Structure 1
Amino acid sequence: MDYGYMLGYWKAGPPAGALETVQEAELLGFDSVWTAEAYGSDAFTPLAWWGSATSTIKLATGIAQLSARTPAATAMAAMTLDHLSGGRVILGLGVSGPQVVEGWYGQAFPKPLARTREYVGILRDVMAREAPVSAPGPQLPLPRTGEGTTGLGKPLMSTLHPLRQHIPIHLAAEGPKNTALAAEIADGWLPFLFSPANDAEARSLLAEGFAKRDARLPGADAFEVSVPVPIVVDQDVEAAADRLRPMIALYVGGMGAKGANFHFDAVARLGFEAECAEIQEHYLAGRKAEAIAAVPTRLIDEIGLIGPVQRIRDGLARWEESVVTRILVQGDITAVRAVAQLR
């Protein structure tokens, strides 16, 4: 089991002490640091900044949103950062949801699986730099032609030579179809709100994707599964749970619309459908305090590690026996230090 440090996206501003924590995580043997984006801070800039003050820790987006950039722009950012960092980039990608894609980026959301497949194909072609890049579409055609264009576009090849022709691409996925897609076309899977209780289903979905895997990609034995795990060290289990309830209430109740919330669906599949419905009802009605209070501790225990160090040690055993290959510690410096001692 490898361990990474998940910083996620910023709230109102840069997280306090982030650089120092990243540097300590590197010294403690964590293999990667992961950033994210929603509709505020971006995923690449913090990695460039913190990466310049580190030397070995991998720099991973977890996740960069597909609709935030064209495939070519994402490839340019990844290749540039890979050069600057000496080959430390992991490119984690995800489709986000319709509220962000259509409301923030002004892009159409339908057919996310088809868009992901096209996007990754273009990324690989750009980063391999074997020929000018073209793609048939229909969602992401290169070059773009037809109505509204000049007709002057032509296939181009990156002027930047890649440091590595194969930068690892990991796909964020919570649903069954995109989980299988990750195993088919990517180098890793980034589940979210995952529990070791899902292990058998996860292995089955990944096997479905591996059966269709392109032989030019690294084999299934090299495939990585990296999971953000919220970790709170506290002698009082309920006090630790209280620190995570607002985050879970937000994702289950407030991210996406009713009937179109992938996080709701992921937690419901863990056997918490009734609890999710109650959380969402409160949250969408503006009753955030009630939504937070409705998050049960047993749900937090499914997707996180909370309480005294010994309790966290015992909980880690479930994760180590699962399909997960890397735990991304989502917590403060105390959590980072505690996990380092338990590895």
Structure 2
Amino acid sequence: MSRWGLTLPVTGVPLPAHRELVTRLPDLGYTDVWSAEASGTDAFTPLALVSQWAPRLRLGTAIVPVYTRGPGLIAMSAASLAECAPGRFVLGIGTSSPVIVENWNAGEFSEPYGRTRDTLRFLRSALTGEKVSEEYPTFTVRGFRLERAPEPAPPIMLAALRPGMLRLAGREADGAITNWLAPADVPTVRAELGQEAELVARIFVCPTEDADAARALGRKLISSYLTVPVYRAFHEWLGRGELLAPMHEAWAAGERKKANAVIPDEVVDDLIVHGSPQACRERIESYVHNGVTTPVIMLLPTGDDPLEQVHALAPG
């Protein structure tokens, strides 16, 4: 594999305690570390630490929401991290979700395609050190210039699920970041993105041979994520609408346990990688064979030592 990524921080491990693991990742065959941002760590702090602990790793945010920081602050944070890891940082931005934007951050989740497009265009200019005064369709910036423009400016990738955002990513960004898809879904996504752009996929990995336990955890995650409208639309586009309809009906009725129970095993097995470490590695490789450029493991908790599991899932 040309690239092999890991999502940090690992669940249950304090940020400072990652140092020993991170310093070993390049020798284990990992090339990338990507962060996430919801209600745990922010997207930038873990990567700032990794930038100093492992100077060989590429770092990426997956993703920074375009609503929860102002455009200028996104540019400043990205420039700071790019200065810590010159030539090794990728800025991933996206819409996030109404829950995170509105319920948790008092923002307004409106015009997601337009806001993402305009933020991308602003960042393209701002991260070169250009002075930006522009009335974009979804916001206006007057007289912003970075005091410490990074050299080189980092690539920018977009979180993208369906055709419109995937095409925008292929046309104006440096690639797309996606998740919650099966290996067989990758060609559908790749066809909209284009064949040349980088495609990063966060892959949920549960390294256990207890299939019942893995599926139980997978069902909880699937019902939590795929009932969000954007993910529901994504999987309807991918052809899982009928399989997931009973889950959506139960969820809408407030029957959470039933929503989990009616998710078919085939859907869980499509979207959650589980089994022995070797079986998991082979499954991850199938994403790459189908068109993913950079697989990024999102390690799910099994009760075993997550640091040992990271070692076991290394590509070598």
TM-score, normalisation: structure 2: 0.86
Secondary structure in structure 1 of the residue aligned to 2:7:
strand
Aligned to 1:139: 138
Classify 1:311/1:36 alpha carbon distance in 2 versus 1 (closer, same or farther; 3 Å). Answer: closer
Secondary structure in structure 1 of the residue aligned to 2:8:
strand
Residue 150 (structure 2) pairs with residue 182 (structure 1): no
Structure 1 residue runs of 5 or longer lacking an equivalent are 144-154, 208-219
Listed as ranges, the matches of 1:312-331 within 5 Å are 312-331=280-299
**Correspondence for 1:161 among 149, 159, 176:** 149
Aligned to 1:193: 180
Listed as ranges, the matches of 1:14-33 within 5 Å are 14=14, 18-33=18-33
Deviation at 1:62, TM superposition (A): 0.6
Q: Structure 1 CA distance, aligned partners of 2:112 and 2:294?
A: 26
Residue 245 (structure 2) pairs with residue 245 (structure 1): no
Deviation at 1:80, TM superposition (A): 0.8
Counterpart AA for 1:70: G
Secondary structure in structure 1 of the residue aligned to 2:4:
strand
Counterpart AA for 2:23: Q
Secondary structure in structure 1 of the residue aligned to 2:72:
helix
Alignment RMSD (CA, Å): 2.6
Listed as ranges, the matches of 1:295-306 within 5 Å are 295-306=263-274
Contact 2:34/2:59 (CA < 8 Å) preserved in 1? yes
Aligned to 2:209: 235
Secondary structure in structure 2 of the residue aligned to 1:226:
strand
Counterpart AA for 2:313: V
Secondary structure in structure 1 of the residue aligned to 2:127:
helix
Q: Structure 1 CA distance, aligned partners of 2:230 and 2:296?
A: 20
Q: Structure 1 CA distance, aligned partners of 2:247 and 2:71?
A: 36
Deviation at 1:28, TM superposition (A): 1.0
Q: Structure 1 CA distance, aligned partners of 2:137 and 2:281?
A: 49
Residue 115 (structure 2) pairs with residue 128 (structure 1): no
Aligned to 2:248: 280
Secondary structure in structure 2 of the residue aligned to 1:128:
coil
Structure 2 residue runs of 5 or longer lacking an equivalent are 300-305
Aligned to 2:4: 3
Deviation at 1:160, TM superposition (A): 1.0
Q: Structure 1 CA distance, aligned partners of 2:267 and 2:144?
A: 50
Deviates further, 90-99 or 34-43: 34-43
Aligned to 1:216: none
TM-score, normalisation: structure 1: 0.80
Counterpart AA for 2:147: T
Q: Structure 1 CA distance, aligned partners of 2:259 and 2:21?
A: 31
Classify 1:95/1:8 alpha carbon distance in 2 versus 1 (closer, same or farther; 3 Å). Answer: farther
Aligned to 1:147: none
Secondary structure in structure 2 of the residue aligned to 1:242:
helix
Deviation at 1:14, TM superposition (A): 4.6
Higher alpha-carbon Rg: 1
Deviation at 1:44, TM superposition (A): 1.0
